[in-house]
Structure 1
Amino acid sequence: MTSVFSEGFYKAIFDGCSDAIYVIDPQSSRILDGNTRAWQDLGLSREQLLQHSVVSLQNDVENLEHWQQISAQILLNDSFTFIGRHCHQNGAFFPVEVYTSVIELDGQKVFISIARNLDLTLSQREEFRTRDARLTYALNEAVDGLWDWNIASGEVFFSPQLKRMLKYLPHEMEPSVETWVESLHENDRERVLRLIDDHLSGRIAAYEAEYRLRNRMGEYIWVRDRGRVCERDEQGKSTRVVGMLHDISQSKKLEEKLRQQASHDHLTGLLNRRAGYIHFKKQLSYAQRYEQQFTLCLIDLDHFKSINDTHGHLAGDIALKHFVSLLSDSVRQSDTLMRWGGEEFLLLLPKTDAQSAKLLIEQLKDKVQASPVSLDGREYSYTFSAGLASFPGHSMDMDGLINSADDALYSAKASGRNLVMISYNCSDIEQAELF
């Protein structure tokens, strides 16, 4: 039977549809065509629309690799429903429900996507008058990921935003509590499960935890998770818990950056003096507990003031970083180099006696002297002096070791610089049998 409808009729339906319609290339996600509603919803002209792709228009499709995963699912099932957010030309986002199907056009498969702008859906606005509809909307569109756990069945509703947060596709994530438990970082799992059990049993009023959660790509993000029991049975046993998951990865990175800045020298990246004292105390305590030799070395760059006076403080900074790079590449992994102040550094050498440490520092001194730094286009050679003190021979405590090493450094400087000297201040312990 011959169709009575002309091509113009179908064109009129295409352009007159109240929902946006897109024709999409399955491989590249490029927009091949769109109806009037499509470009109007996005604040674009037709020509501008055809310069875009799903990756550039859909906020919840991160990149081409992500699109290809979605495309494979569409081709496998011949249809696909997706809740996401489209990007308007003015930078705002609006929620859409996208239904995609596969058709053949001139021997090639293309996607036809019908996108309903949920902000413009009158029926949805009508549904908002009921409490359940408002709750449903909140669960689907809230910025934070929301979850709803039915304890009896073990089922967990993961909101679309929670799935997006963890880079899952809408149909992915098995809706079970095991999905969540298996995604917990192994170092956080016991603590988090204990906290939620404390809340379920009534020992704490609410569940709250910060922990690492594995996303679809196998990477861990930091989250803040809060929840509360909302239903109990007649015996008072918890039957349902709802909660909210918030991505705090950025704030954790900032927190770590601030912690790094507080404990490390901003120029060299080494531990600063305040954090160095703490680390020194731990290292010495370890040596005392296990009766091991422990040596510290105070290092001071020779004639460093002349570098600043001749070439400027920026050149001095370059020389300091050059020195730190040379030593950091040469010391053992167990050793710790820290900036003690100005051009003075402290090197901790665990499980090392004074004589062995002196040999190591002599080698480092020769390396530094043979490795000039480039300042103002010229090679500049410099040296350092060092003073050594060891536990238990020179002192049993931290302050005593530092004073002994400082005395040895002063002697090296007074004797002509570019020298490594061991403290002559030996306690009575050194005369006895050492560890």
Structure 2
Amino acid sequence: MRDETLFFGDQLAAILRALPDPAFVLTRSGRYIAIFGGIDTRYYHDGAGLIGKCVHDVLAPDKADWFLQEVEHALHSHGLHIVEYSLAACDVQGLESEGPGQRLWFEGRIQVLDFAVAGEDAVLWVASNITARKELEVQLRMQSEIDALSGLLNRRKLLQVLAEHYDTFERYGTPLTALVFDIDHFKRVNDAHGHLAGDAVLQTTAEVCRRELRSTDAPARLGGDEFVVLMPHTSGEQAAPIAERLRQRVAEALQALGSIGAGVTISGGLAGFAAGDARGEDVLKRADDALYQAKRAGRNRICGMR
């Protein structure tokens, strides 16, 4: 029986060493008592050097504090606690090399141990690298929120952002001005030069939006050659020179395309949230009406709020 027990103990130790993901025994104070597994060298380095150290010895202060907070949460709940977290080279102290060039993501499964370790309450923290999953999530989110041709927000994301700002307006009266604009004579570009030329005009317009607008503004492609720019915390008076500058810069950029962009300009309409609005889309309707006013007035201009 004793031989069988010893044999099983050897097997158990080998099983723990063979775990693909690393498992850490961490005390309440953040000391690494033991490390098992982590043999998947695609994602993990040998962590044996951590044993005996505290999280504050190896991690940046804010990251170390976060680890201790999650350990405390698990100890308090007495159940399995699951978290997601990231680690980059700047989060780790004392690296012999520069560390990974990208931020890595992990899922931590934290289980309370029902016995004391080194005189302290302790947990078993199993870390699984989920970076590939996170990157896929980012790609899928971008596909659902970003217009593929222009790289700006798509219609779905635009309406979501607009609804969020409308809620803020209803609650606090925070202003927002919307600019709706389209490209003058865009059909003529497609007919004369082809759809690839039309795509170049759209992409150039989007690039000017990214370059010229403020970081707080939200430019989007509504569809076809129609664009929307949401300008939060901005009155009509403040938005007018921003829209006018954008009009001028787009015209200049399109002229630089040569014959494709010769004489191509934009027309736009401005409108802001109003007290009688029932939903966020109401501001787009008024801005669209102002856009058609600009078309009737001769194009290549911004009409609406001043």
Select the residue among 61, 74, 81 that pairs with 1:207: 81
Q: Decide whether the 8 Å contact of 1:387 with 1:410 is kept in 2.
A: yes
Q: State the distance in 2 between where 1:231 and 1:292 align.
A: 53
Q: State the distance in 2 between where 1:343 and 1:188 align.
A: 50
Q: State the distance in 2 between where 1:246 and 1:380 align.
A: 52
Q: State the distance in 1 between where 2:267 and 2:281 align.
A: 20
Q: Which has the higher contact order (CA 8 A, sep 6+)?
A: 2
Gaps of 5+ in 2: none
Q: Which has the higher helix share?
A: 2
- Alignment match, 2:34: 157
- Alignment match, 2:12: 135
TM-superposed deviation, 1:187 = 7.2
Count the aligned residue pairs: 290
Q: State the distance in 1 between where 2:181 and 2:164 align.
A: 21
CA pair 180-144 structure 1, distance change in 2 beyond 3 A: farther
Select the residue among 98, 103, 109 that pairs with 1:226: 109
Q: State the distance in 2 between where 1:186 and 1:421 align.
A: 50
- Alignment match, 1:357: 239
* Structure 2 counterpart of 1:417, one-letter code: R
* Structure 1 counterpart of 2:111, one-letter code: R
1:302 aligns with 2:184: yes
- Alignment match, 1:268: 150
Select the residue among 216, 221, 227 that pairs with 1:345: 227
CA pair 172-198 structure 1, distance change in 2 beyond 3 A: closer
* Structure 1 counterpart of 2:222, one-letter code: W
* Structure 2 counterpart of 1:211, one-letter code: Y
* Structure 2 counterpart of 1:223, one-letter code: F
- Alignment match, 2:55: 179
Per-residue CA deviations over 1:36-71 (Å, capped at 9, x if unaligned) read: xxxxxxxxxxxxxxxxxxxxxxxxxxxxxxxxxxxx
Q: Decide whether the 8 Å contact of 2:38 with 2:45 is kept in 1.
A: no
1:197 aligns with 2:79: no
1:90-109 to 2 correspondence within 5 Å? none
Q: State the distance in 2 between where 1:188 and 1:374 align.
A: 53
- Alignment match, 1:384: 266
1:24-423 to 2 correspondence within 5 Å? 130-149=7-26, 154-159=31-36, 161=38, 168=45, 172-176=49-53, 178-179=54-55, 183=59, 186=62, 190=66, 193-201=68-76, 203-213=77-87, 214-215=91-92, 216=95, 217=98, 220-232=103-115, 239=121, 241-287=123-169, 289-372=171-254, 378-381=259-262, 382-392=264-274, 397-422=279-304
Q: Decide whether the 8 Å contact of 2:182 with 2:266 is kept in 1.
A: yes
CA pair 130-184 structure 1, distance change in 2 beyond 3 A: farther
Q: Give SS of 1:268's match.
A: coil
- Pairwise CA RMSD: 3.6
Q: Decide whether the 8 Å contact of 1:149 with 1:240 is kept in 2.
A: yes
Q: State the distance in 1 between where 2:225 and 2:255 align.
A: 15
- Alignment match, 1:52: none
Which stretch of the first structure deviates more once superposed, 279-288 or 146-155? 146-155
CA pair 283-275 structure 1, distance change in 2 beyond 3 A: same
Name which one, 1 or 2, has greater alpha-carbon Rg: 1
Q: State the distance in 2 between where 1:134 and 1:179 align.
A: 30
Q: State the distance in 1 between where 2:58 and 2:169 align.
A: 40
Gaps of 5+ in 1: 1-126, 425-435
Q: Give SS of 2:253's match.
A: coil
Q: Decide whether the 8 Å contact of 2:32 with 2:50 is kept in 1.
A: no
Q: State the distance in 2 between where 1:188 and 1:392 align.
A: 48
